[in-house]
DNA sequence: CTATTAGGTCTGACCGGTCAGTCCTAATTA
DNA sequence: TAATTAGGACTGACCGGTCAGACCTAATAG
């Protein structure tokens, strides 16, 4: 984290604040206060609050794919089942480390923005579909290896898993306990076992 | 619905607008415009926007439990499996009728408000837990009747189903297609089949 | 070597508009 | 006659966004 320019600082702060409070309730002034950047300089780097938020979303997506997906679901050095377990563990630990606050940075935004801003919706849609297809490959390989049951379409399982994950993170945030995610991983694995 | 007083009109409009746009982006003036009620009269009936929104949430919860839960998951005249199917059908049809917009009125609010307003969070938390326990009873009875597999705790299955449902509604809203919910019901039923 | 130009970054003052909420008076209705 | 509704003016805080100009550095021209 060496010598960050104002532009980078703004992107970082926006990413964090939007995850915390959502897009609409994060004000430009909030971002300015957190960074010490002046408003006029903000609008030198970005033409609008929306533009910054979209850039912040893109960078968050990239980071998630590089730091989470690549080291879990896409780690070819371990079995599909292990990959899936590691994936759940990592997500679950993350939300526990946040004291069950904030929720999913992507799911939150999907709910807040999908009906009112096509830019956010389409990015999130592509992102989720990509995530789903990575899950699908993991499941498909697991079925081939006999780790998972083979009587359900891997694509459908992937969809079920991603939807459940997003809903579970919502419940973690609502109930303020990690259980809906952490304590259910075992049941999910059981449902996927070969019959 | 004849001859509604201003108070009832305000609650109805608030319920609808908050489902459409969320709490923060729904302004008091929006609600006033929609109802034709004057601002002074608004504050005659409610001490704040928050108070109205909380009352609107309560009435929406009540309505949901009476009109959806009671006629599906709690309908003792049909089998647990049929109840569950009817439940999914009803929810799925509802979101299709909304052109895959809006999302779940409860899930939306849970994500928007859980971290910033304890009143909303606690109401939603109780509501979701109640919903889960109704699902659990349905599953438990289905297991007893041999309709569902018996090797997983009904409480865990209920949690999985509710989380998946909320996530699926999120995806319906994001992808703008009913598929994540409508086309996956069959797979869910298959996963629950006795082994 | 000096003067000029250019591009990128940053600033303080300011804009019109919106927010939730208040206040007051007068009319209407049950 | 008490509860409700109508009507409008008003507040202070805050919203996203604009603007003219200052500052720094490096390349270029005389």
Q: How confident is the model at residue B195 (pLDDT cuts 50, 70, 90)?
A: confident
Q: Report the CATH superfamily, name and number, of domain A70-192.
A: Tetracycline Repressor, domain 2 (1.10.357.10)
**CATH class of the domain whose range is B1-56:** mainly alpha
Domain boundaries, chain A: 1-57, 70-192
Arithmetic mean of pLDDT, B33-59: 95
Q: Do A171 and B164 touch (CB under 8 A)?
A: no
Residue B3 pLDDT exceeds 80: no
Residue B190 pLDDT exceeds 80: yes
Beta-carbon pairs below 8 A across chains A and B: 149
Q: How confident is the model at residue B4 (pLDDT cuts 50, 70, 90)?
A: confident
Expressed in angstroms, the distance from the first to the final Cα of chain A is: 50
Point out the residue among A25, A115, A164 whose CB comes nearest to the CB of B160. A164
Tell me, what DSSP letter sits at residue A117? Answer: -
- For residue A85, CA distances in Å to A107, A128, A185, A193 come to 21, 19, 8, 13
- A105: its two tokens: 């940075």
**Which overall architecture, per CATH, does domain A1-57 show?**
Orthogonal Bundle (1.10)
Burial label, B155 (beta-carbon count in 10 A; 0-12, 13-18, 19+) = middle
Mean pLDDT of chain B: 96
Q: What is the pLDDT of residues B55-87, one digit of tens each?
A: 999 999 999 999 999 999 999 999 999 999 999
Q: Residues A45, A4: contact at Cβ < 8 Å? A: no
Q: How many CA atoms lie within 13 A of B174 on its CB side?
A: 27
> Could you give the CA distance from residue A193 to residue A178 in angstroms, rounded to a whole number?
24
Residue B153 with chain A: CB contacts under 8 Å: 187
> Could you give the CA distance from residue A73 to residue B109 in angstroms, rounded to a whole number?
31
Q: Is the CB of A97 under 7 A from strand C?
A: no
Q: What is the pLDDT of residues B130-177, one digit of tens each?
A: 999 999 999 999 999 999 999 999 999 999 999 999 999 999 999 999
pLDDT of residue A89: 98
Residue A3 pLDDT exceeds 70: no
């Amino acid at each position: 984290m060496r010598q960050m320019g104002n532009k980078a600082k703004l992107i970082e702060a926006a990413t964090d604040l939007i995850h915390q409070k959502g897009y609409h309730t994060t004000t430009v002034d909030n971002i300015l206060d957190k960074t010490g950047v002046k408003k006029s300089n903000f609008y030198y780097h970005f033409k609008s609050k929306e533009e910054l938020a979209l850039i912040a979303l893109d960078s968050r997506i990239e980071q998630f794919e590089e730091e989470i997906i690549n080291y879990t679901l896409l780690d070819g050095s371990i079995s599909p089942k292990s990959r899936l377990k590691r994936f759940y563990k990592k997500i679950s630990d993350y939300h526990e480390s946040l004291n069950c606050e904030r929720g999913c940075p992507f799911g939150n935004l999907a709910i807040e923005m999908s009906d009112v801003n096509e830019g956010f919706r389409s990015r999130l849609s592509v992102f989720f579909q990509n995530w789903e297809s990575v899950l699908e490959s993991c499941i498909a390989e697991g079925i081939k290896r006999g780790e998972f049951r083979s009587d359900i379409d891997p694509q459908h399982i992937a969809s079920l898993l991603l939807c459940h994950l997003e809903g579970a993170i919502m419940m973690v945030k609502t109930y303020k306990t990690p259980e809906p995610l952490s304590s259910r991983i075992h049941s999910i694995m059981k449902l996927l076992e070969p019959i």
